[in-house]
Amino acid sequence: MDVVVAHSDPAARRVLGGPLGEAGHSVAEADTAEEALAACRARPPEVALVQAGFQVAGRPLLDALKGDPEAYTTAVVVVGPVDLALSDVRDALHRGAHDVLIEPISPGEVIARVNAVARMKSLQEELVAQTRRLETMLHEDPLTGLFNRRYVLTRLAGLISGARRHGRPLSVAMIDVDHFKRVNDEHGHDAGDATLVATTIALRDRLRAEDELGRLGGEEFLALLPDVDRDSAAVVAESLRTSVENVRTRLDGLELGVTVSVGWATWDGEETAEQLVKRADIALLSAKRQGRNAIQGADPLSASLPRRT
């Protein structure tokens, strides 16, 4: 474990760093706050033992470490004198210190407290990583890496809110892989999965950075196209169709090609996310009736559909 010991008193640095070095840890000493910050930036240690009152340019070293983009992951233990005020202890812990050591400190206590802080830091990092993994599982389709149905529809609702607020156009495109069941039936599910992944890559390649793509389920995708009006949506839909038409998937000696049908719709300024997607879906069905490998724009919002109130 890497440890930085930052203290102005050489004797205190020996008391703190000596036992840690004997315990097999890699110890770097710093006699100024600036030197400590530089050491933590260059190679962030697991733990930094920091003298209470150390400051960098009038700012507490603890704050400088926790606010630094390189050093913020370091677990900080504040080392204070025997008369350190209780309010200062509370303040250090509130600002992000993992622990506070009060001098004089025995070698055993140094080792025990530093090890405990390192374990706490490791557990916190694992908890953060698990939380991120769970968040990813909640909104990501595991096969394609795209947004899943729930999340992409949530994103669409947010885009509609923004389009309404700023008076900007918004379109969506529903994309369906033609005769996908035939791919699974004739070549197996591995071939089907590979085809979906290849389709995803082709679609992404034709979308802008600000566009969003989700998998609604099975072989059906939804592209969200902010700031795209009706005329531009038709161009995007044709681009998506041709991008997939030109892709060939190779798997176990097979070369597979698929096409997609695309139905697109432009937000009318009042409809809900559900209504907009429904119109795109109806347009998609029309494209399929044309013989597939086709695009179709949606009719304006039907008066028979309920409007948002």
Contacts of 27 (CB under 8 A, 6+ apart): 3, 4, 5, 17, 20, 21
Residues of the chain with CATH 3.40.50.2300: 2-133
Q: Which of 135, 219, 220, 255 is catalytic?
A: 219
- Residue 277 confidence (pLDDT): 96
In CATH, the number for domain 2-133 is: 3.40.50.2300
Q: Is it the case that residue 49 has pLDDT exceeding 80?
A: yes
- Are 169 and 163 in contact, with CB atoms under 8 Å apart? yes
Give the residue-averaged pLDDT of 208-217: 94
In the structure encoding, which two tokens stand for residue 182, read together?
């035939």
Whole-angstrom distance, CA of residue 30 vs CA of residue 22: 18
* Active site annotation includes 219: yes
- Residue 297 confidence (pLDDT): 96
Whole-angstrom distance, CA of residue 63 vs CA of residue 109: 25
pLDDT band at 136 (very low <50, low <70, confident <90, very high): low
Give the residue-averaged pLDDT of 117-138: 77
Q: Order across the sheet with 99-102: list the strands.
A: 26-30, 2-6, 47-51, 75-80, 99-102
Residues of the chain with CATH 3.30.70.270: 149-297
Q: Is the peptide bond before 104 cis (omega within 30 degrees of 0)?
A: yes
In the structure encoding, which two tokens stand for residue 63, read together?
């704050």
Q: Is it the case that residue 231 has pLDDT exceeding 90?
A: yes
pLDDT band at 121 (very low <50, low <70, confident <90, very high): confident
In the structure encoding, which two tokens stand for residue 52, read together?
């209470």
Give the residue-averaged pLDDT of 15-35: 90
Q: Between the ranges 27-36, 172-181, 187-196, 300-309, where is the mean pLDDT highest? A: 172-181
pLDDT band at 302 (very low <50, low <70, confident <90, very high): low
pLDDT band at 283 (very low <50, low <70, confident <90, very high): very high
**Torsions phi, psi of 55, nearest 5?**
-135, 150
Give the residue-averaged pLDDT of 253-266: 91
In CATH, the number for domain 149-297 is: 3.30.70.270
- Residue 137 confidence (pLDDT): 64
